[in-house]
Amino acid sequence: MDNLVKSARRQFSELDMRKREDEAASRGFIGGLALGILVGAILALIFAPRTGSETRGMVAGTATDLKHKATDMVHQVKSDETANGPAATGLGEEPAIEREIGDVQNRPTPGVI
């Protein structure tokens, strides 16, 4: 009986050590990933062919363009829905899950007679 208890304790301690090793490995990976991203960003800024102000202006311009495109798309969808109602989008009034799989209550259950 004592041998069984000692064996169980040893196995639990081995499992605990494995769990700790796995957690340490995942922390090490995440830390290495973060360090790699940081170093890559710094090197990209150092070796960039443009000056910092040009790069910031380009990034800001792209972000502004994307914002305007997204806003235009939202306004277009909203105006289409208000002009034509929900039927114009093909969605109708029923919940999305029923549109996707149909009326579940009227379907026969497979394997049931």
CA 52/CA 7 separation, integer angstroms:
64
pLDDT tens, residue by residue, 18-43: 788 888 778 888 989 999 999 998 88
Question: Is residue 113 in a domain?
Answer: no
Mean pLDDT in residue range 3-19: 78
Q: Is the model's pLDDT at 73 over the cut of 60?
A: yes
pLDDT band at 58 (very low <50, low <70, confident <90, very high): confident
End of a domain among 47, 67, 82? 47
What confidence score (pLDDT) does residue 18 get?
A: 79
Question: Is residue 4 in a domain?
Answer: yes
Question: Is residue 76 in a domain?
Answer: yes
What predicted TM-score, i.e. pTM, was given to this entire model? 0.34
What confidence score (pLDDT) does residue 92 get?
A: 58
Q: Is the model's pLDDT at 67 over the cut of 60?
A: yes
Range of the domain at 19: 1-47
CA 91/CA 43 separation, integer angstroms:
49
Question: Is residue 111 in a domain?
Answer: no
Whether residue 54 sits in one domain with residue 43: no
What confidence score (pLDDT) does residue 34 get?
A: 93
What confidence score (pLDDT) does residue 104 get?
A: 53
Question: Is residue 81 in a domain?
Answer: yes
N-term to C-term CA, the chain: 55
pLDDT tens, residue by residue, 75-105: 888 888 777 665 555 555 666 666 556 555 5
CA 13/CA 9 separation, integer angstroms:
6
Whether residue 1 sits in one domain with residue 24: yes
**Chain center to CA of 106:** 36
Q: How many domains does the chain have?
A: 2
Count of H-run helices and E-run strands, the chain: 3, 0
CA 72/CA 79 separation, integer angstroms:
10
